[in-house]
Amino acid sequence: MKKSEVTRLNILQKAFELIYAKGYQTTSIDEIIATTQVTKGAFYYHFKTKDEMGLAIINELLNNNFKETFIEPLQSSENPLETIYQQVYDILMENDFLKVEYGCPTSNFTQEMAPWHVDFTKALNELSGRWENAMISCIENGKKKGTVKDHVSGKEVAVFVMSGYWGIRNLGKLENSKSVYLIYLKGLRAYFDSLQ
């Protein structure tokens, strides 16, 4: 990597850490500059605006993590319902990157930015659409293999899982405890058992 690329990546990573802990709108460019120890000129060399940087966080940092965590595990599943359950369990209970007290970065960005920023809405919708489509494909493959009942709608499963996941991340954030995750996981397990 060139020095300028390293600087840009450092800005994105440090900015993400601040935004994840404090929120996008309450994190200032000055705080980001102080944390990264770059000059204001260096920041504006890489990003014309805070929103340009925010979109880069979604399209570059979150996108890569999202692919590894949310998409790839579903692509070669022999037992879709078990794979999806295990994926959600791992994200909620085992993932060290995602902090219970801060919630889900994608959900946080959605709540803060999607209502009034079209480019954020588009980027975030693309991320969630990729997870939804990966789950739908996974469920459809399970139906072909006979591990998921024929009448099950992959779209319904995906929307149920995603809405439950984002909702429980917010409850976990409110309670600052993973114990509420276990209640959701128990309900998710029962729901999946009814689909086999």
Give residue 14's pLDDT: 95
Give residue 177's pLDDT: 94
Give residue 135's pLDDT: 97
Distance in angstroms (rounded) separating the CA atoms of residues 132 and 190: 21
DSSP codes of every residue in 144-161: HHTSS-TT--HHHHHHHH
Count of alpha carbons within 13 angstroms of residue 88, beta-carbon side: 28
pLDDT digit of tens for each residue in the chain (196 aa)?
Answer: 788 889 999 999 999 999 999 999 999 999 999 999 899 999 999 999 999 999 999 999 888 888 888 999 998 888 999 999 999 999 999 988 889 999 998 888 888 887 788 999 999 999 999 999 999 999 999 999 999 999 999 999 999 999 999 999 999 999 999 999 999 999 999 999 999 8
Q: Which one, of 87, 95, 93, 99, lies nearest residue 173 by Cα?
A: 99
Handedness of CA 63, 14, 111, 55 (dihedral sign): negative
Give residue 96's pLDDT: 85
Give residue 110's pLDDT: 87
82-to-72, 100, 119, 191, 192 alpha-carbon distances in Å: 15, 23, 35, 12, 8
- The answer to whether 59 touches 49, Cβ cutoff 8 Å, is no
Structure-block tokens of residue 29? 């460019």
Give residue 66's pLDDT: 86
Domains in the chain with CATH codes: 1-48 (1.10.10.60), 49-195 (1.10.357.10)
Q: Is 124 exposed, middle or buried (0-12, 13-18, 19+ CB in 10 A)?
A: buried
DSSP state of 74: G
Distance in angstroms (rounded) separating the CA atoms of residues 91 and 75: 17
Distance in angstroms (rounded) separating the CA atoms of residues 126 and 142: 24
Give residue 113's pLDDT: 85
